[in-house]
């Protein structure tokens, strides 16, 4: 099973580019972030015509997540548990072929300190609780998406530039490492420890051409999913295509049981 994540940065603005990638990637399941669309306005027909089932958790103008699957999706839930007052569309789950797929768009948190950073850390605490529950239930689960976290120095082009950013602050990184310490596996780092592997390049200052990138899109696996990990990769070339997102897809393949 090939499972991918892509922060599309506006599905309607980048639909042709997304469909081209979707056709090339031939993923079984795709988690999307920043669809920036309500459920009603999401371009459903174009994606369904490519053989995908679709579940969305949209929001007008910003945020928004979705799951696409060639297989039926069961037990679809929307919203990260733990705060019924949270109205931001950042989490969607479904079971596909016996695998629990959890798509997320973790808050950016800037400026920090401040209420947006407090929201980020609170969201990460709720994520930790959900991940712990999945592990305790011995679920084969894949928790993937835009984490807005730079876990290590080697995950950015220049740590000094990012030192005071919410994506890189010590409390952010510590919260991410607590996730890993629960027993989750960072799929990319399980197969490639090389520095300079990035999933995001800013549109400004020639960041792509200079390779001023950061790794903030991640795939975390519960032990049962990690046992089935075959490989993990990043489609970096997508960033050089016409009208690209500032993120690129990351994907894993899991062996059949």
Span 17-66, pLDDT tens digits: 999 999 999 999 999 999 999 999 999 999 999 999 999 999 999 999 99
Q: Which residues are annotated as a binding site?
A: 7, 34, 146, 148, 246-247
Count structural domains, the chain.
1
Catalytic residue list contains 177 = no
Catalytic residue list contains 218 = no
Average pLDDT over residues 98-120: 98
Considering 52, 117, 146, 217, which one is annotated as catalytic? Answer: 146
Considering 28, 52, 57, 105, which one is annotated as catalytic? Answer: 105
CATH number at 151 reads 3.60.10.10
Helix (H, G, I), strand (E, B) or coil at 12: coil
Contact 239, 195 (CB under 8 A): no
Domain that holds residue 100: 2-254
Q: Which residues are annotated as a binding site for Mg(2+)?
A: 7, 34, 146, 148, 246-247
Q: pTM (2 decimals)?
A: 0.98
Residues near 30 by Cβ (< 8 Å), separated by ≥ 6? 3, 4, 5, 6, 22, 52, 67, 68, 69
Span 190-223, pLDDT tens digits: 999 999 999 999 999 899 999 999 999 999 999 9
C-alpha distances out from residue 101 to 107, 113, 249, Å: 19, 32, 16
């Amino acid at each position: 099973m090939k499972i991918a994540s892509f922060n599309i940065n506006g599905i309607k603005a980048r639909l042709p580019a997304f469909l081209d990638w979707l056709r090339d990637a031939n993923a079984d399941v795709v988690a999307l972030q920043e669809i920036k669309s309500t459920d009603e306005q999401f371009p459903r027909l174009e994606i369904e015509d490519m053989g995908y089932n679709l579940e969305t958790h949209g929001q007008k103008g910003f945020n928004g997540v979705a799951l696409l699957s060639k297989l039926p999706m069961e037990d679809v839930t929307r919203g990260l548990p733990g705060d019924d007052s949270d109205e931001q569309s950042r989490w969607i789950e479904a079971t596909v072929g016996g695998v629990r797929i959890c798509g997320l768009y973790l808050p950016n948190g800037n400026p920090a300190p401040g209420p947006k950073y407090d929201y980020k850390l609170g969201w990460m605490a709720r994520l930790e609780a959900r991940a712990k529950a999945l592990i305790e239930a011995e679920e084969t689960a894949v928790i993937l998406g835009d984490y807005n976290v730079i876990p290590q120095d080697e995950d950015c082009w220049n740590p000094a530039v990012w030192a005071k950013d919410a994506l890189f602050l010590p409390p952010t990184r510590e919260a991410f490492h607590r996730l890993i310490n629960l027993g989750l596996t960072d799929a990319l780092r399980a197969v490639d420890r090389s520095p300079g592997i990035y999933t995001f390049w800013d549109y400004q200052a020639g960041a792509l051409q200079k390779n001023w990138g950061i790794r903030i899109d991640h795939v975390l696996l519960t032990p049962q999913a990690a046992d089935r990990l075959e490989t993990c990769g990043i489609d970096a070339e997508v960033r050089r295509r016409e009208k690209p997102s500032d993120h690129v897809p990351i994907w894993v393949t899991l062996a059949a049981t």
